[in-house]
Amino acid sequence: MTTSPGGTPARRGRRLPRLAPGALSAVAVLISVVALVVALLAYARGSDDSTQAVRPATAEATPTPTAAAASTAASTDDPAAETEPTDDELQGTDAPLPSGGAPYTVVKQDVRITLAGGAGIQRTIDLDQPLVNADSTRTDVTFSTYHDPAQLEFGTDKVAQARTRDVTPDECASNIQLSPTDREVELSQDLVLCTVTNGVGAVNEPSRPKMARLVVNSIGPDNTATLTITSWEIPR
């Protein structure tokens, strides 16, 4: 036993127990396994959070209407669109008129219209309603003061002059077929004309060509004219 210089025995330091090499390897492996498990748990939690953050973006988008659907809706909401004539309906004015004795039905009788005159005036007329200042689709004849005397300019060649204001629709049909006149007719007092309309009348009214009789009641110095219109439905 060693002693200190002062004669007191010196104390030996405690030695830590030594681990066997195999134990150290086991501890290292355990630490590695724990670290791997912690890493896997952290990764799994991060994946769940990212999935939840992305889910709102995958919500179903509201479908937008197609062009065809929008067009269908517009035509359904627009009453005028529902009553626009088809090509077959507009071709009614080109169809042959019925033979003598056909049963005509009165649609409008002795409707009086006034066409204000003046210099360089044009007024469109729908004979089916009747109506002055009609749109282009419904116009059957145009009143024009670009000439003196004023003229009626028809949109069809089925026009004829009659001898009396009491001419029947059957007589009108015969005159149109046997002695038609020009599309442009000069106005004069007591002039009587027969023509076939294009059939396009008021909104929601079926498109059917009609026989129309026009009587010029008066025409003033400034070409202001008053006309009486009667129309009949043409038998099919």
Region for residue 183 given its phi and psi (left: phi exceeds 0; alpha: psi -120 to 50; beta: otherwise): alpha
| pTM metric for this prediction | 0.61
Q: How many CB atoms lie under 10 A from the CB of residue 219?
A: 20
Per-residue pLDDT of the chain (236 residues; tens, 9 = 90+): 444 455 545 455 555 555 555 666 666 777 777 777 777 777 767 655 554 544 544 445 555 555 544 444 444 454 444 444 444 444 445 667 876 677 899 999 999 999 999 999 999 999 999 999 999 999 999 999 998 899 999 999 999 999 999 999 999 999 999 999 999 999 999 999 999 999 998 777 788 999 999 999 999 999 999 999 999 999 88
Three-state SS at 143: strand
Exposure on the CB side of residue 43, measured as CA atoms within 13 A: 6
Cis? peptide before 85, omega within 30° of 0 = no
Q: Which residues of 70-109 are buried (b: 16+ CB within 10 A; e: fewer)?
A: eeeeeeeeeeeeebebeeebbebbeeebbeeeeebeebbe
Exposed/middle/buried for residue 163 (C-beta within 10 Å: 0-12, 13-18, 19+): exposed
